[in-house]
Amino acid sequence: EAIIALNEVLDEGIELHPLEEQKISVDKYRQIGLGVMGIADMLLKLNLKYGSDESINVCDFIAKNMLNEAVKQSALLAKEKGAFKEYKEEDIFKSPFFINNVNEDIKELVKKYGLRNSQLLTIPPTGSISTMLGISGGIEPIFNLSYIRKTESLHDEDVYYKVYTPIVKEYMSINNISEEEDLPDIFVSAMTLNYKERIKMQQIWQKYIDASISSTINIPYETTVEDVYEIYLNAWKAGLKGLTIFRDGCKRS
């Protein structure tokens, strides 16, 4: 359903692009980007720690199924409306990504009908919509268990109050926990998670995503230049396409 919807949005938007080159490119390649958000919340609800072997296995299962369903639907749309204009069967069937990740029965559908889209999956940061829905963004861990908010307009003076991340607040309420220190160790955040877990998580999703993944590793203020070097080196060794880091208290903030 999501693939059908994204194709309808693409068709609706073709004429709205400001440049002729954009209209031509979209029409030729029909790139769409099905993705995910709320993964960290899902893992918590499954009682799994982000970055653990069990969490990686669950994400591997989800990502592989998402890819195969997306390719299948794109092939069925190609049957109905034709393949994208630049479609070349020999290139698709030579692609290691396609060879290694797409199931044989779905490869047969692609061989028969082609593909409606040259690109199907991506994982954007989903910052605005995940905040609006009160869930974790993309494949990122929850940012923090809690944070301090300040209000200036409701009182005659600045008032500070503690706000819990929605999934944390929900868990604490259900289990009658009053202090975040009493939460089980499945509750890790971007500020406490080891960067190696972050890289492992991105690596498993990238295996099945044919475009890009938004991923920022939050690192503490004390992080050294050597630490940053190690993060990028490990990301490169894991074969990641890209990675961003944000150091707490850096010049930007």
pTM equals 0.91
The b-or-e profile of 48-82 (16+ CB within 10 A means b, else e) is bbbbbeebbebbeebbbebbbbbbbbbbebbeeee
User: Cα separations (Å) of 215 from 3, 61, 140, 143, 218?
Assistant: 23, 20, 7, 12, 10
- Out of 19-33, 38-52, 104-118, 137-151, pick the least confident: 137-151
Q: What would the mean pLDDT of 67-73 be, rounded to a whole number?
A: 98
* 122-145 residue pLDDT tens: 999 898 999 899 999 999 999 899
The predicted pLDDT at position 155 comes to 66
The H-or-E segment that residue 200 falls in is helix 195-206
If we measure between CA atoms, which residue out of 136, 143, 71 comes closest to residue 107?
71
The average confidence (pLDDT) of the chain is 94
Q: What would the mean pLDDT of 14-40 be, rounded to a whole number?
A: 97
The predicted pLDDT at position 248 comes to 86
Alpha-carbon Rg of the chain, whole angstroms? 21
Scanning the structure block, which residue is given the tokens 């069937």?
93
